[in-house]
Amino acid sequence: MTVIDRGSVEDLLVNAPTKNSKVLDFVRSIAERTTPDAIEWITGSEEQRSSLLSQAIDTGTIVKLSHPEDSYYAASDPDDVARVEDRTFICSEKEEDAGPLNNWVAPAEMKGILNDVFAGAMRGRTMYVIPFVMGHVDATQPMFGIEVTDSPYVVLSMGIMARTGDVALEAIDRLGADFVECVHSVGAPLEPGQDDVAWPCSSTKYITHFPEDRSIWSYGSGYGGNALLGKKAYALRIASAIAHDEGWLAEHMLILKLTNPEGESKYVAAAFPSACGKTNLAMIEPNIPGWKAETLGDDIAWMRFGPDGQLYAVNPEFGLFGVAPGTGYVTNPTAMTAIEAGGNVFTNVALTDDGGVWWEGMTDEKPAHLTDWRGNDWTPESETPAAHPNSRFCTPIANVPTIAPEWQNPDGVPISAILFGGRRKTTMPLVTQTSDWNHGVFMGSILSSETTAAAVGKVGVVRRDPMAMRPFIGYNVGDYLQHWINIGKTDGARLPKIFYVNWFRRAEDNSFLWPGFTENARILKWVFERVNGTADAVQTPVGFAPVAGGIDLDGLDITEEQVQKALEVKPDEWAEELQSIDAWYDELGEHVPAELRAEVEELRDRLGLK
């Protein structure tokens, strides 16, 4: 029994704002399966947003804050706080096309499972239809999606994170464009008379991707990375599969504009794993006289070759979904200014007694009393954090005071340098430049990081995370690495230079060797000058490193010796690293490109370990 006293799906569709049969067929088929009480089409209007906000306040899903302006707070179910990588599936026809890092289930089998779990899943709820475009609607190749969801929290968050509503639907209709079908349910149908909870979700979770059909089905979670399907699911997993077929790159990268004192600008993209500093670096305010940085994106970059052979990057998103803890007036004042401009949705942060928000690291001094993310009283003596370690701020990117004027360029900006980096206590130097594209792809392929709270699981374990894309590659990782190698072989390509950075190397006493944050601008300056050919370097077995005195330390309270320690290539550490690289490539199996196997042998040779 799934249909309870409700009109037929056709009745629910009478007010559809489109006659596009592809759109209507999709929406109809999901409504028939999930049997919502109502269908609401998201237009992007302010009236609609206000009415959704009041409804979500009434059900307790969100709380209106006293400040910042127009800002809201949601506390999730304590078991629904992060991406669930063990419940994330790539359902390609062949297992080999998903493996070896992704969970795989055959499409027919997964569709059977989804048929069961989605049957009647939206009963008692409204199904919202969110047309959206990732990137600019006037791009040469605009990329559309339609997310249907039964979560008002998802609607409000998607409204910040993507260009949603009429702007997208009109363009889909006008262009007769394809769109990625995105289906989301919190998996908590309501019986007549049953009271709703503030954060409905299910203990059964499926975050599933069909790269061949270009569709996404997500069940059971309301958390951003699992439920805001334009983001990781589309802009990385599905888009990486599209990019592989079409010869471009969909990457987990920030985009930054740097301008030197002479007024010359360059654009840099950087890939660091989740909670390893992208949002921070994207908003950096250099304190080196005459240098300027501006923001274009903090999480995702799509890069396509332009007519001049350069890779042009766009940020497909429209908002920030940033890790809150550690974002503060000292570490990231730019993000704090963006947040204070209002229009935020916060999730799992702590509440102050005057109706504002707080999280660890926002201010040096802890408030005397808070309500923690679980709704309990909290004082500085409490033993648990006030905000969940993966609590987030969701903020319009237009709020960012350092936003570059060209951030809405439909076809993006030309990239001069790519940085790869992760969180490593040892081994990886503060910065090195790779010797050519293949060496750069190799360094990206062995990117490693100690795990963080951004995904469910143990924190602090070193894992390989190729190009910071491990949880986001929508196909075989070896084929993905081959795709990177092939990009480098494109006729007429004027490729960016590739660098590897590590802000997180530690001294013997476990303190950070490099102060990081704002001071990373000094590393960006070296990168800029290497691209321009004006900075010297020394060759090490693992890449080109700055010469002694090559990093501008003017005005900084650390010694050249300490920087040299941060830059050091230690033979014993690299001997161990090489063994781990061998094991990593064995794990990846036979799809690893021959070009990258050759890079390992060259590294072995340079380290004298042959």
Query: What are the residues binding ligand GTP (CB under 6 A)?
Result: 272, 274-280, 298-299, 322-323, 325-326, 331, 454, 503-504, 512, 516-517, 520
Residue 332 Cβ vs ligand GTP, minimum distance, rounded to whole Å: 8
Specify whether 276 is catalytic: yes
**Phi (first) and psi of residue 242, to 5 degrees:** -65, -45
CB 24 within 8 A of CB 110: no
From edge to edge, which strands make up the β-sheet containing 370-371? Answer: 357-358, 350-352, 370-371, 377-378
Question: Cα torsion at 115, 118, 124, 126 (round to 10°)?
Answer: -110
- Tell me if 500 is assigned to a ligand binding site: no
Give the residue with the Cβ less far from ligand GTP, 114 or 567: 567
The one of Mn ion, ligand GTP, none whose footprint includes residue 275, by CB under 5 to 8 A per kind, is: ligand GTP
Minimum distance, C-beta of residue 169 to ligand GTP, in the bound complex (Å): 29
Provide the Cα torsion 36, 40, 46, 52; round to 10°. Answer: -10
Distance CA 257, CA 485 (A): 26
Q: How many CB atoms lie within 10 A of CB 573?
A: 14
3-state SS of 408-463 is: HCCCCEEEEEEEEECCCCCCCCCEEECCCHHHHHHHHHCCEEECCCCECCCCCCEE
CB of 319 or CB of 478, closer to ligand GTP: 319
- Alpha helix (H) residue ranges in 68-197: 107-118, 152-161, 166-175
**Minimum CB distance to ligand GTP, residue 387 (Å):** 11
Token pair 């979500």 is found at 56
3-state secondary structure of 64: strand
- Residues 215 to 274 in contact with Mn ion, rule: CB under 5 A: 274
Q: How far is the CB of 511 from ligand GTP (least distance, A)?
A: 10
Q: Is 265 marked within a binding site?
A: no
- Smallest distance from Mn ion to CB 323, Å: 6
Per-residue tokens: 312: 């042009």
Instruction: Say which entry of ligand GTP, Mn ion, none residue 277 contacts (CB below 5 to 8 A, set by partner kind).
Output: ligand GTP
224 known ligand binder: yes
Among 274, 503, 506, 280, which Cα is nearest to 389's?
274
Judged by CB under 5 A, the chain residues 280 through 309 that form the site for Mn ion are: 299
- Flag whether 520 is marked binding: yes
Instruction: Please indicate if the annotation marks 280 as binding a ligand.
Output: yes
Give the residue, chosen from 279, 416, 427, 518, that forms a contact with Mn ion under the rule CB under 5 A: 279
What letter would DSSP give residue 101? T
391 annotated ligand-binding residue: yes
CB 563 within 8 A of CB 581: no
User: Quick one: what does residue 224 bind among Mn ion, ligand GTP, none, with the CB cut-off 5 to 8 Å set by partner type?
Assistant: none
Decide whether 9 or 501 has the Cβ nearer to Mn ion: 501
Check the annotation: does 232 bind a ligand: yes
Residue 252, annotated as binding a ligand = yes
Q: Is 276 annotated among the ligand-binding residues?
A: yes
Q: Looking at beta carbons, which residue is closest to ligand GTP?
A: 516
User: What is the token pair recorded at 35?
Assistant: 């049997």
What's the residue count for the chain? Answer: 610
Phi-psi region of 461 (alpha: psi -120 to 50; beta: other; left: phi over 0): beta
Side chain identity at residue 478, one-letter code: G
Instruction: Name the minimum Å distance from CB 321 to Mn ion.
Output: 7
Binding-site partner at residue 503 among ligand GTP, Mn ion, none, CB < 5 to 8 Å by type: ligand GTP
Report in angstroms how near the CB of residue 462 gets to ligand GTP at its nearest.
16
Q: Which residue has the tokens 């040096």?
A: 364
Residue 326 binds which one of Mn ion, ligand GTP, none, with CB within 5 to 8 A depending on kind?
Answer: ligand GTP
Are 72 and 62 in contact, with CB atoms under 8 Å apart? yes
395 is a site residue for Mn ion (CB under 5 A): no
Residue 68, binding choice from Mn ion, ligand GTP, none, Cβ under 5 to 8 Å by partner class? none
Residue 606 annotated in ligand binding: no
Closest CA to 596 of 606, 608, 584, 607: 584
Nearer of residues 266 and 278 to Mn ion, judged by Cβ = 278
* Start-to-end C-alpha separation, the chain: 68
**Nearer residue to ligand GTP within complex by CB, 87 or 278:** 278
Give me the least distance between CB of 590 and ligand GTP, in Å please. Answer: 30
**Residue 160 interaction partner, one of ligand GTP, Mn ion, none, beta carbon < 5-8 Å per kind:** none
Of 240 and 279, which CB lies nearer to Mn ion in the complex structure?
A: 279
Of 91, 182, 276, 394, the active-site residue reads 276
Q: Which is nearer to ligand GTP, 72 or 504 (CB)?
A: 504
Nearer to ligand GTP, 165 or 224 (CB): 224
Question: How many residues form the binding site for Mn ion (CB under 5 A)?
Answer: 5
**Known binder of ligand: residue 279?**
yes
State in angstroms the smallest separation of the CB of 449 from Mn ion. Answer: 12
Q: Which is nearer to Mn ion, 397 or 521 (CB)?
A: 397
SS (H, E, C) 360-394: CCCCCCCCCCEECCCCCEECCCCCCCCCCCCCEEE
Contact letters for Mn ion, residues 310-329 (x by CB under 5 A): ------------x-------
**Beta-strand runs (E) in 48-169:** 63-64, 72-74, 88-90, 103-104, 126-134, 143-149, 163-164
**Of 416, 412, 422, 471, which Cα lies nearest the Cα of 444?**
422
- Residue positions in the annotated binding site? 83, 223-225, 232, 252, 274-280, 299, 390-392, 423, 517-520
* Residues labelled as active-site residues: 276
- Residue positions in the annotated binding site for Mn(2+)? 232, 252, 299
Interface contacts to Mn ion, rule CB under 5 A = 274, 278-279, 299, 322
- Residue positions in the annotated binding site for substrate? 83, 223-225, 274, 390-392
